[in-house]
């Protein structure tokens, strides 16, 4: 425990720095533009040069960690990032600043992939879960804190350096973090069998450049032919990347992106969710910064105050989200995206209505709602996508998810910047900026609503509720839904029936896995649980038996495996010598079901035989004792035989 308590704070400092510098430049855009006499397209490239390098090298950085050691790569990444930050702060012109930002992205890509691997190897069980929850929260908090920290540094104007401290602040923090990492991070072994897919890394980098550079520079440059050709070339390069990765995998190599991961439904639907969220999020942050500082002439500090409600909402819900996952499962994301979409629509309407008279706190309510939704949608995102991926694929899958998110970041800045400045046109007055902002934010909201729909379409991951409402539906409501389905021949309530059946199926399979070994306890265990949770289901079975008799029933193929699992559990006890091997396991399962379910299925007979209702605590106690004795007698008879 001694050294491990320092591991999480150290790696989270690196995480915070890498994510912070994706966003911190947004608030410095006007200062950089005026200080270096650059166009909007060039300044957008300053924002995106970092994320282009960062996104395209993340998976490669992870592979280098496997080869050279994760501690070594983390420290080296911190040093590269810190040196590049110093170069950013000293950049004499826009070209040097763009190059320095690329180097920053390289450093971020070297250190960031090591964080998850170090957490996985250092922490176990609940401690690992808590560490991953804090990791997710730090990602989101760093993204929004970039606006506030950048605004504060610009407002202070340290030494008259205007925008330069936005980058220079990383230098002392990076040096301290690197020293701490050398002292306290655990050493790890090199895995020299891992090889780099240099061809894949080159192709994916080229693809990102071909997509993002034209979108960033096209409007300012008047869309010359070479930029149009770059966009067109992105299609064959993307196709070549896919072909290359398949070829590397086919010859037994180690592709940069294992395309087989996309055969996993949860992963394949989760990656587009991450991209959509990040495009919306990055576009929102970029456009809002330009609108406030360029369109309304807000000072950096005044602009940062506009972000404050969003930061508060983001901070609170990003810490709350991991606690909601066990309750709501993946639907935490959907709730977050819907809330954020509503907040964005409200922000757009408020800004458009206020125009140039917009005050600092006029957007506070909608920004608070937006930030709260974004916090719910960010903190558990990576964990939710990876929850259905086999552990052996988790490393490669996390690299793909993170790369996809940063690609979304690049595209968000590029696309929203292009659309925003196109809507503003040649007008230089604030009203045009307010109108353009109001027209563009609904697009950001639509992207989030599409992401929420995709969350709903994701398959259920192990350990997560399929439907937050269905999981907590009262028994009488479930019984009513089943009755409607049965009474209408399946024409009403099919979707609800499927959800309810999924819950029952999961509960019964879980019972088969956790039932105690002694037969008496086994019988009373099943009786106790059906008494607590299965009354509505047993009532449905009674009505279903009257309606269908022994003919095929709805969803029989989905229900049969549950019964077979229970039969298999009895066969296992026979193989262990706990039951007479000559007993037919299927018939014995019928007997067990009859013993456990009889009082609930025939309550009137139970009352006439015992004088007690089957729900009377006295009857429940007597029946459980009876089942325990019957089970113990069956086992003891076999042992004597």
pLDDT band at residue 1 under the 50/70/90 scheme: very low
Looking at residue 368, what is its pLDDT?
92
* Average pLDDT of the segment spanning 353-371: 88
Looking at residue 462, what is its pLDDT?
47
Per the CB < 8 A criterion, the answer to whether 269 and 458 are in contact is yes
pLDDT tens-digit map of 396-413: 676 677 778 777 877 887
Looking at residue 179, what is its pLDDT?
93
- CA-based diameter of the chain, in Å? 97
* Average pLDDT of the segment spanning 356-366: 86
Cα–Cα nearest to 290, from 499, 28, 62, 627: 28
* Average pLDDT of the segment spanning 525-536: 64
pLDDT tens-digit map of 437-454: 988 999 999 999 999 998
Does the structure show a pLDDT above 60 at 280?
yes
Looking at residue 584, what is its pLDDT?
85
In sequence order, what DSSP letters do the residues of 220-279 get, joined into one string?
A: HHT--HHHHHHHHHHHHHHHHHHHHHHHHHHTT---SS-GGGGGSHHHHHHHHHHHHHHH
Does the structure show a pLDDT above 60 at 486?
no
pLDDT tens-digit map of 287-324: 887 888 788 888 767 877 887 888 888 878 877 877 77
Does the structure show a pLDDT above 60 at 382?
yes
pLDDT > 90 in the chain, percent: 14
* Average pLDDT of the segment spanning 500-528: 68
Per the CB < 8 A criterion, the answer to whether 289 and 29 are in contact is yes
pLDDT tens-digit map of 192-207: 455 677 888 788 778 8
Cα–Cα nearest to 96, from 40, 189, 164, 143: 164
pLDDT > 70 in the chain, percent: 78
* Average pLDDT of the segment spanning 171-185: 91
Contacts of 573 (CB under 8 A, 6+ apart): 517, 519, 522, 579
pLDDT tens-digit map of 221-259: 778 888 889 989 999 998 999 899 888 888 877 787 777
Q: How far apart are CA 435 and CA 356, in angstroms?
A: 10
Per the CB < 8 A criterion, the answer to whether 141 and 315 are in contact is yes
Cα-Cα end-to-end distance for the chain: 54
**440 phi and psi, to 5 degrees?**
-90, -30
User: For the chain, what's the residue count?
Assistant: 641
């Amino acid at each position: 425990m001694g050294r491990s308590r320092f591991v999480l704070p150290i790696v989270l400092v690196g995480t915070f720095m890498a994510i912070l510098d994706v966003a911190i430049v947004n608030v410095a855009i006007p200062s950089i533009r005026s200080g270096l006499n650059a166009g909007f397209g060039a300044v957008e490239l300053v924002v995106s040069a970092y994320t282009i390098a960062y996104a395209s090298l993340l998976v490669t950085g992870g592979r280098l960690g496997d080869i050279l050691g994760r501690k070594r790569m983390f420290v080296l990444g911190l040093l590269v990032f810190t040196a590049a930050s110093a170069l950013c702060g000293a950049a004499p012109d826009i070209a040097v600043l763009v190059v320095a930002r690329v180097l920053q992205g390289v450093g971020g890509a070297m250190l960031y992939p090591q964080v998850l691997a170090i957490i996985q190897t250092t922490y176990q069980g609940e401690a690992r879960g808590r560490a991953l929850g804090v990791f997710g929260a730090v990602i989101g908090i760093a993204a929004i804190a970039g606006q506030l920290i950048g605004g504060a540094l610009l407002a202070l104007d340290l030494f008259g350096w205007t925008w330069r401290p936005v980058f220079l602040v990383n230098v002392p923090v990076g040096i301290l973090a690197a020293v701490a990492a050398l002292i306290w991070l655990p050493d790890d072994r090199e895995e020299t069998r891992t090889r780099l897919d240099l061809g894949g890394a080159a192709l994916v980098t080229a693809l990102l450049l071909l997509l993002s550079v034209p979108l960033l520079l096209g409007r300012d440059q008047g869309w010359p032919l070479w930029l149009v050709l770059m966009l067109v070339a992105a299609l064959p390069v993307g196709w070549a990347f896919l072909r290359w990765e398949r070829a590397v995998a086919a010859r037994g190599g180690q592709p940069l992106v294992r395309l087989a991961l996309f055969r996993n439904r949860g992963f394949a639907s989760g990656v587009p969710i991450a991209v959509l969220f990040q495009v919306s999020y990055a576009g929102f942050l970029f456009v809002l910064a330009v609108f406030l500082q360029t369109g309304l002439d807000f000072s950096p500090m005044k602009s940062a105050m506009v972000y404050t409600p969003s930061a508060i909402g983001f901070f609170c819900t990003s810490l709350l989200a991991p606690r909601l996952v066990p309750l709501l499962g993946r639907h935490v994301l959907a709730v977050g995206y819907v809330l954020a979409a509503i907040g964005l629509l409200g922000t757009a309407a408020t800004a458009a209505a206020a125009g140039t008279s917009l005050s600092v706190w006029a957007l506070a309510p909608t920004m608070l709602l937006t930030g709260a939704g974004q916090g719910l949608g960010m903190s558990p995102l990576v964990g939710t996508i990876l929850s259905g991926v086999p552990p052996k694929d988790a490393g490669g899958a996390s690299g793909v998810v993170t790369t996809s998110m940063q690609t979304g970041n690049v595209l968000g800045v590029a696309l929203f910047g292009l659309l925003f400045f196109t809507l503003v046109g040649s007008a230089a007055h604030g009203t045009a900026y307010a109108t353009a902002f109001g027209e563009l934010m609904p697009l950001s909201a639509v992207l989030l609503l599409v992401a929420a729909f995709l969350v709903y379409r994701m398959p259920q991951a192990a350990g997560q509720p399929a439907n937050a409402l269905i999981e907590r539906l009262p028994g009488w409501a479930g019984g009513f839904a089943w009755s409607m389905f049965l009474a209408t021949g399946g024409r009403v309530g099919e979707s609800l029936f499927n959800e309810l059946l999924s819950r029952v199926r999961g509960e019964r399979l879980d019972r088969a896995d956790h039932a105690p070994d002694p037969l008496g306890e086994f019988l009373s265990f099943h009786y106790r649980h059906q008494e607590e949770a299965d009354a509505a289901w047993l009532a449905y079975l009674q009505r279903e038996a009257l309606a269908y008799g022994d003919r095929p029933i709805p969803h029989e193929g989905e229900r049969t495996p549950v019964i077979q699992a229970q039969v298999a559990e009895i066969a296992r006890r026979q193989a262990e010598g706990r039951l007479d091997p000559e007993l037919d396991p299927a018939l014995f399962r019928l007997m067990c079901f009859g013993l456990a379910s009889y009082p609930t299925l025939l309550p009137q007979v139970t009352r006439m035989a015992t004088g007690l209702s089957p729900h009377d605590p006295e009857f429940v106690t007597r029946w459980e004792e009876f089942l325990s004795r019957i089970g113990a007698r069956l086992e003891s008879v076999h042992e004597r035989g």
